[in-house]
Structure 1
Amino acid sequence: ILAIFPLLYGVPQSEKIFHLTFFVVMVSVLVQSTTLPLVAKWLGVLVPPSKGEALPQAGSDIIEVIVEPGSRADGKMVVNLGLPSTALLVLLRRGEASYVPRGSTIVKAEDQITIATRKQDGEDLTKIFTS
């Protein structure tokens, strides 16, 4: 950005200044980006990538349910559904729109809901939305 000022004010040979500045910045970025991991390793501050567990191995599951008309969930706010504390409503699809449901979100028939939960709670959760 600073290299643009000579161009704006008509400084003689401002184009050369711009090109030189651009070149120096690009070389600096390339040198820093290629040496940063090596320096971090040398200093002992390199953080290894985490190995996250897949959901099925962790005893968790992701389920999708479609809210049936007249079910216990139909017309209720999420906070009033009596969900287990281990359940997290991740996504609510209503028609073409998708939402991240909150406690005040009202669940309606035909909503498609994605839930992250423990495997053992899956059947009970499904009953809330389908019966």
Structure 2
Amino acid sequence: MGITLVLDVRNARLEAIRAALDDAPAPGTLKIFTAPRPATGASITSQIEIATLTFSKPCGNVVAGTLVFAPIAGDPSANHTVDLGQDLPLWGRFYNGYGATIMDANVSAAGGGGDIILSTLQIVAGGSIGAEGTQVITEGGA
């Protein structure tokens, strides 16, 4: 069995993520990229930015071991065409309003096992993209 954290510690960990995302006058963002996923915080090199989603300010609240995000503004015009059924893996990088990296996560459509679930299987350049029911959930050591 892996590490498990009591609820107070999980909440504190998620509160630190929430505070980091909100640590600027401007709202934080989530940028979606093509593979390969670099080490967290490493430079973007050959990856293509597909879309930028913008968090509300504040970005959300910690409730019972879950960071529940307030509504996230979608990107009305994606930069690249992608079929999530074939072009996986995608990944996302969370930034605060200053543009500092907070964390990275895997991206998929519903049922794909990603940490971030997008609202569609197909992303078309110039089309809109959004996140549905977005939460960051910690289960023990996550």
Into which bin does the TM-score normalised by the smaller protein fall? under 0.3
Bigger Rg, structure 1 or 2: 1
Per the normalisation by structure 2, the TM-score is: 0.21
Per the normalisation by structure 1, the TM-score is: 0.22
Greater per-residue helix proportion: 1
Greater per-residue strand proportion: 2
